[in-house]
A = this chain, B = another copy of it.
Amino acid sequence: MGENVVILSRDCHALRPERLAGFRKVEVRVNGARIVANVLISDGLEALGPGEIGLPQPALRRLGVKPGDHAHVSIAPPAASLDAVRAKIRGEELTKEEIRAVVEDLAAHRYSDIEVAAFLIATSSFMTTSEVLALTSSMAAAGAQLKWNRPIIVDKHCIGGIPGNRTTMIVTPIVAAHGLTMPKTSSRAITSPSGTADTMEVLSRVELTEDEILDVVERCNGCIAWGGHINLSPADDVLISIERPLSIDTPEQMVASILSKKIAAGSTNLLIDIPMGPTAKIRSNIHAQSIRKLFEFVSSRLGLFTEVIITDGAQPVGFGVGPALEARDVLAVLDGRPDAPADLREKSILLAGRLLEHDPLLAGGRGEQRARELLESGEARKTFDRIIDAQGPPPRAAPIGSLVFEAVAPRDGVVSQIDCFRIARIARTAGAPYDPGAGIDLQKKSGDMVRKGEPLYRIHGLDHSDFAAACEAAGEDSGFRVSSAGR
């Protein structure tokens, strides 16, 4: 994440530090590889000689540095495509070629953070559909491409914002059990309490290489892996690294981000889940529909069959929020346990059913019923076990946190609202996803009757200071609204 940094000694003689004022960026070349980096001038590091440079771990990895390698440092020329960014700032429409040049420079890490921010803000004020199209296809092309020798590759993607909601881990085994191919690569949490990759990692290894992904999918029809090791749409990762801290998320950027990754991953049939609700990312139907149209427009032009489904995003899905608690819910659904969260089960069946409709061998309209059969028969669970087996055991045990606090109802009444954003924040404060066992376990959902003092949810934690901070946050605002029964 973020920008590369190189540390130079104040008395560096390869590149006089005083020459850098106003330039700020240098190019570091080691063997064939190169990165653009910001410079830190070091005064106090005895370890760093005038002929040496310091690089952080991610930069060492990116450059593939071996001990004893020589590094060449020079002032980086500004990326040529920045002229297009300035044109966009002035309000011009960019050509396909200009956008491709920007994307290639982004993917090659030639932009500094502020240059990335400039591109994002300039494009967020307006972008034509042609520009979104060009951005998506350029992003998909700039990086690795997965190739599959199967005619239909299905995928699903949720635009996020709803805690719990771990449908991917149920949908994938249902779809794979049916015989369709679903090579799911997921992200880790960035600002949420868990990403699918974090939750899956409670049960299985997820950091697979491209070859391992191909092998797991060959054996199981599907995988649930972290996407970070396969360089799909690297420009997207660069843009996201700046979008997130700025909390900007326009429809255009969202569409380009999601579709570029899916196209690079070789998907042919995609289901997009847009949860809508008062505390979700998308809060109105008009907003949801305009995003839907943009997804459909860009997908159709790029040869990807995309269906967009707008789902209930009024509250968290399932009970658990945080990797280990969510994994527990997923297993409960796959095991058909009576205490499994019904909303997670039904939403997973709905989504899986839509994907199964893409099987030409299945009669139209049979998808949802087939999905339910595969879940209830235990076939999905068996496929999930095969996937886990193929991916390997989890890197570490992740028991649910033993520090427990109960947030209770302040009065008798009915749960009238659950703030998705607040619940996510508290779960994250408790330590999720870095402590996979930390998080929130919902005891009540919207519409449930509660008695004063009855638990609304439990906070689980492992680290005492994080746990205390989460309890304090829940005390300030639990995220639950309980209305008096009479109102």
Contacts and interface: CB of A to CB of B under 8 A. Distances in A.
Interface of A: 1-2, 5, 16, 18-19, 21-25, 38, 40-41, 43-47, 54, 56-57, 78, 82, 86, 89, 91, 112-118, 120-122, 124-125, 189-191, 242, 244-248, 434, 463, 466
B89 A125 contact: yes
The 4 closest A-B pairs by CB, nearest first: A121-B121, A117-B117, A114-B117, A18-B434
B248 A89 contact: yes
A433 to B, nearest CB: 9
A23 B246 CA distance: 10
Contact of A43 (B38, B43, B57): B57
A86 to B, nearest CB: 7
29 contacts: A1-B24, A2-B24, A16-B434, A16-B463, A18-B434, A21-B434, A22-B190, A22-B191, A22-B244, A23-B245, A24-B245, A25-B245, A40-B40, A41-B56, A43-B56, A44-B47, A44-B54, A45-B47, A82-B247, A91-B125, A113-B113, A113-B117, A115-B117, A115-B245, A115-B246, A117-B117, A117-B118, A121-B121, A122-B125
Contacts of A91: 125
B43 A46 contact: no
A78 B246 CA distance: 10
A22 B429 CA distance: 13
Nearest to A19: B434
Contact of A40 (B56, B118, B434): B56
B124 A89 contact: yes
Contacts of A41: 56-57
A227 to B, nearest CB: 16
A121 B112 contact: no
A125 B89 CA distance: 6
Contact of A46 (B47, B114, B190, B247): B47
Given A1-B24, A114-B242, A118-B248, 11 more contacts: A2-B24, A2-B38, A19-B466, A22-B245, A82-B247, A86-B248, A89-B121, A89-B125, A113-B113, A114-B246, A118-B121
Contacts of A22: 189-191, 244-245
A233 B121 CA distance: 25
A18 B431 CA distance: 10
A23 B245 CA distance: 7
A241 B54 CA distance: 24
A348 B65 CA distance: 56
A485 to B, nearest CB: 36
A63 to B, nearest CB: 15
Contacts of A44: 47, 54
Contacts of A122: 121, 125
Contact of A1 (B21, B86, B125): B21
B125 A117 contact: no
Contacts of A54: 44
Contact of A114 (B40, B114, B191, B434): B114
Contacts of A78: 247
A118 B45 contact: no
Contacts of A113: 113-114, 117
A372 to B, nearest CB: 37
A65 to B, nearest CB: 12
A338 B457 CA distance: 88
A112 B78 CA distance: 21
A245 B121 contact: no
A38 to B, nearest CB: 8
Nearest to A39: B2
A116 B242 CA distance: 12
- In this complex, the member of A114, A121, A248 whose beta carbon has the largest number of chain B beta carbons within 10 angstroms is A114
Contacts of A5: 5, 40
Contacts of A246: 114-115, 118
A202 B2 CA distance: 40
Contacts of A24: 1-2, 245
